[in-house]
Amino acid sequence: MERKLWLDKPEDGSQTEVGQLKGCHFLELEISSPQPTTTYQQMEGADGSKDMGTTYGPRTLSASFLIEGDDVFSFQQLQREVWLLFLSREAYYVRCSDNPGMRWLVHAKPFEYSVLDMLNKTFTVELEAFQGFAESVGTTLDPFTFDSELWQNGQGLIGEDFQYQFSNNKFSVYNAGDLLVDPREHELLITIEGQSEGATRIHNKTTGDVFVYNPVLLGTDVLTIDGPYPKINGLHCGRSTNHGLIRLATGWNDIEIHNAIGLQVSFLFRFLYH
């Protein structure tokens, strides 16, 4: 089966399959390994060093292509179209038919062509995945079916009926990715509708995180935690909270919401992968 590579532009929602450029043939996409960096602190008077944690740096994706022209003019036009496609000022997502359920946010590095003959050249684009991870194409509120063309094998979604919308106060949210979802760095939208008898308290028992909204919720109110920003009916309300955050660990997260009744709750996020 012919391999395909897509470039998805978040600013306008456009999706381009590189093979749609006549004469441009995608060959392969190579992905470098994760790039962990561990920080240590040496303690005076103590042996060894203290582990201060590990972070992951940018990774490189190498996309290889062959371009073929009908004549010199069409070949030069094709080269220009390729430059315009890859060398964008804005970051864009790359996804490959080898792993169609995952995408990488990248910037392309400058590249040159290797000449085979007058009308045939090869080139390799180095794409810097500066976040250091891939994310699922689908979100938790998309259909979990292979017919949706958003998911693939190897994403940790086999054998369970996963839910991300709830109408009770105790439930579990599954993070199928390899990484903790931190709303300060990653997309996470929690929406709560219902009434409260005092402050609304959201507790992720798995991570220990607690978020508190102090005013009473009316039945018409919509409380959202959009990344790190809490909002009530679309308006920022950080001063009315404990300034807490809700993160999602890998695997199951046991969530409990206190002092609220008649709930409708949803968790919208993408899974993150090494």
User: Measuring CA to CA, which residue among 219, 207, 213 is closest to residue 257?
Assistant: 213
Identify any residues that bridge with 173 across adjacent strands, giving them in sequence order: 253
Residue 191 is predicted with a pLDDT of 98
Tally Cβ neighbours within 10 Å of residue 269.
22
266 vs 193: CA distance, rounded Å: 9
Residue 144 is predicted with a pLDDT of 86
Query: With contact defined as beta carbons under 8 Å apart, do 214 and 203 qualify?
Result: no
Longest CA–CA span in the chain (Å) reads: 76
- Listed in sequence order, the residues at least 6 apart from 208 whose beta carbon sits closer than 8 Å to its beta carbon are none
pLDDT tens figures, 104-156: 999 999 999 998 888 899 999 999 999 999 999 999 999 888 777 889 888 88
pLDDT per position in the chain (274 positions), as tens? Answer: 789 999 999 888 889 999 999 999 999 999 999 888 899 898 888 888 888 888 889 999 999 999 998 888 888 899 999 999 999 999 999 999 999 999 999 999 999 999 888 889 999 999 999 999 999 999 999 988 877 788 988 888 866 778 999 999 999 999 999 999 999 999 999 999 999 999 999 999 999 999 999 999 999 999 999 999 999 999 999 999 999 999 999 999 999 999 999 999 999 999 999 9
| Per-residue tokens: 51 | 């582990």
What are the angstrom distances between the C-alpha of 170 and each of 92, 167, 173, 192, 212?
38, 9, 10, 13, 16
Residue 159 is predicted with a pLDDT of 63
Query: With contact defined as beta carbons under 8 Å apart, do 212 and 200 qualify?
Result: yes
Domains annotated for the chain, with CATH where assigned, are 5-36+50-132 (2.40.30.200), 158-273 (2.60.120)
125 vs 113: CA distance, rounded Å: 10
Number of helices and strands in the chain (H, E):
1, 20
Please give the backbone phi and psi of residue 148, each rounded to the nearest 5 degrees, phi first. Answer: -75, -15
